[in-house]
Amino acid sequence: MADPKKLYIKTYGCQMNVYDSERMAEALGGAGYVETQSPDDADMILLNTCHIREKAAEKVYSELGRFKGLKAEKPDLKIGVAGCVAQAEGEEIMRRQPLVDLVVGPQSYHRLPELEARAQGGEKALDTDFPVDDKFDTLRHRPKAKRGPTAFLTVQEGCDKFCAFCVVPYTRGAEVSRPAARIIEEAQDLVERGVREITLLGQNVNAYHGAGEGGDWSLARLIWALNEIDGLERIRFTTSHPNDMSDDLIEAHGTCEKLMPYLHLPVQSGSDKILKRMNRAHTAESYIRLIERIRDARPDILLSGDFIVGFPEETEEDFQATMQLIREVRYGYAYSFKYSTRPGTPAAERPLVDDAEASDRLYRLQALITEQQRAAQDAMVGRTVKVLFEKPGRLPGQMVGKSDYLHAVHVADPALSVGDIAEIEIIESGANSLSGRRAG
């Protein structure tokens, strides 16, 4: 019997890409591949790329350049590029890097076995279509291997918002929601394999409107259905848009026991002028009022956000409006970035803010966010929280897990195992994590 071929996948970017990489590995598993952790051992190298961050495409080309020597040593090695850079660059990838054998977009990776077979036959295989066949239906049945206690589950893809800075509508396409029954089936399967916490994923996840019994379901209705699965203990979702934070979803945060008290709700700016330039279709005031409603439903919820500084035409006054919004909301986490141009987006043609000024604004914003994050962590000391333990720590007998609020928690207790959920009293707040002990 021939030895299995080895697949090395490197994943860039968001949680959805992590999910997609898992599915790509499963698709190629049917073609005789098993995963390896080293490109040196691989018969196929697959880069699952992200196009959100600055110079994303150039970083991919740089990574591909590192494989030239390996390709020379192993002429039968196949190299592929998947994901959003693949969608955006297409044939240009193969032109610039002839060592690439296949390119596949994020909506077509269920066709990987066919593309791999073509590559094995000496063809250059390219598929960046938005196919009518459902990739999730094609890859419906996952292998029954044991899983860790947490998992991502994509429920929605694409975005119809067309923010002026964002490439997602062009690389992931229009908003598409998976049927509710398929998601529930996949969630049940994950739980049977050891998963206790599921994070529902979407580029605009709270715009979910999948077909279900009685008509299209909202994200809240889907969450309530998942809440009924025995063995599933925790539900999260990301990433959300403020304009799709519906009444029933806000209510679910206050009443659904398994929905965790954590919400990532990007705002990007606190200036109405900049929000309009970004095509966000909400104001700073409407965002603040929305936060108040969410906190009325779930007073202890921990909030996370996204911010872009130095967006074209942003003034110091606009930046100070963002700082004021941050002070008012009081975030437990946030992700912040200096604006970088994405070719093909509406903002790409606008004059840029001075780079040094944008860098200074980012520094000041991140200092405020760090202060708030530390305050949120320090406030946990003395509280008892539930922690789902995911892996052993660095010290003997230590376990590391995530609290209800997504804080990393370290506990020295040899009786704890991966997958356990335990009530933990928080006794210390560190730079980026908490320490605790068994309550009681």
Question: Is 256 part of any known ligand binding site?
Answer: no
Residue with tokens 């002990």: 437
**In the chain, ranges of CATH 3.80.30.20 domains:** 144-153+167-260
Q: Is 166 labelled a binding residue?
A: yes
pTM tops 0.75, yes or no: yes
Q: What is the dihedral of CA 112, 113, 115, 120, to 10 degrees?
A: 140
What mean pLDDT, rounded, does the chain reach? Answer: 91
Where in the chain is CATH 2.40.50.140? 384-438
Q: Output the pLDDT for position 336.
A: 95
Q: Is 159 annotated as a binding residue?
A: yes
What gap in Å lies between CA 79 and CA 67, rounded to an integer? 9
Give the dihedral sign, CA 256/259/260/263.
Answer: negative
In terms of CATH, what superfamily is 144-153+167-260?
tm_1862 like domain (3.80.30.20)
Instruction: Kindly report, as residue ranges, where domains of CATH 3.40.50.12160 are found in the chain.
Output: 5-127
pLDDT at 132: 47
384-438: CATH homologous superfamily? Nucleic acid-binding proteins (2.40.50.140)
**440 residues of the chain, pLDDT tens digit each:** 467 899 999 988 777 788 888 888 888 887 889 999 999 999 999 998 876 665 667 788 888 888 989 988 998 999 999 887 777 787 888 888 889 999 988 777 788 888 888 988 988 988 877 554 455 565 555 455 568 899 999 999 888 999 999 888 877 788 899 999 999 999 999 999 999 999 999 989 999 999 999 999 999 999 999 999 999 999 999 999 999 999 999 999 999 999 999 999 999 999 999 999 999 999 999 999 999 999 999 999 999 999 999 999 999 999 999 999 999 999 999 999 999 888 788 998 899 999 999 999 999 999 999 999 999 999 999 999 999 999 999 999 999 999 999 999 999 999 999 999 999 999 999 988 999 999 97
Domain 262-379 class in CATH: alpha beta
Which residues belong to CATH 3.30.750.200 in the chain?
262-379
What kind and span of H or E run contains 127? strand 125-127
Distance CA 219, CA 225 (A): 10
Under CATH, to which class is 5-127 assigned?
A: alpha beta
